[in-house]
Amino acid sequence: MKTLILAAGYATRLYPLTKNFPKPLLEVGGKTILDRLVEAVDGIESVDQHIVVTNATFYQHFEDWKAKSNYQKDIIILNDGTTSNDNRLGAVKDILFAIEQLEINEDLLVLAGDNVVTFSFEDFVRYAQEKHTSCISCHEESSLAALQKTGVLEADENMRAIAMHEKPENPPSSWAVPPFYYYKRTDLPLIKTALDQGCGYDAPGNLAAWLCKKTEVYAWPINGERYDIGDMAAYEHAQGVFKKD
């Protein structure tokens, strides 16, 4: 299987910090966000390659990062050809771009490149492989305001995903869905179908929401913390949490 890290956004909410520099390469506690993510997946035995999909504007930054990296698994940097927030492909189209460019026919662990976590994804991969289905991740969120700003999972008693609701006014549960997904090889052809049928493509959760209506998808409650570096306040908070690393 392969990991696919989505790093083609332009992080306009962090301007001017990210106007000429990619958010995944910002440092949190002395390590880049991207390094922290790769470290969390590099030791997974079944992973044989890490793919980072970025844009034309920041491509060289990631190539420079790769040149200095020293990980167990091979790293590929993909340039999706976009140059600004106005002509970005969007996360779901970037997933399809990577699959088509590299002719991927393996299970795929998809991670948003602007998150810092305190757990390894090995348990998530093991869970998905035991279920033999595509899987999403989730975590309990007690704040109604926070649930109204994110994707929220509706699941049965066995954690099979029934639906995902984006920024619901009346959340059906307290399960928030972070941008970590395990897509089975056999489900990858459905991504193009999803886009052809009008699936939203800007946020990666759009695909997961569409997929759980079409095939069997299970949800894995994350067994650690996750920090979404969405804006300056979130970045400063993460800096404080990880300052001792």
| Each residue's pLDDT tens digit, 51-63 | 999 999 999 999 9
CA dihedral 105→202→229→114, nearest 10 degrees, is 20
Q: Is the pLDDT of residue 74 over 90?
A: yes
Average pLDDT, the chain: 93
Asked if pLDDT for residue 101 goes beyond 90, the answer is: yes
R_g of the chain, CA atoms, integer Å = 17
pLDDT band at 153 (very low <50, low <70, confident <90, very high): very high
* Residue 61: how many other CB atoms lie within 10 Å: 17
| pLDDT tier at 92, thresholds 50, 70, 90 | very high
Q: How confident is the model at residue 36 (pLDDT cuts 50, 70, 90)?
A: very high
What's the CA gap between 130 and 13, in Å, rounded?
A: 38
Q: What superfamily in CATH does domain 2-241 come from?
A: Spore Coat Polysaccharide Biosynthesis Protein SpsA; Chain A (3.90.550.10)
* CA geometry: angle 71, 74, 76, nearest 5 deg: 115
Per-residue pLDDT, 85 = 87
Per residue in 182-220, pLDDT (tens digit) is 999 999 999 999 999 999 888 888 999 999 999 999 999
Task: Give the residue-averaged pLDDT of 60-79.
Answer: 96
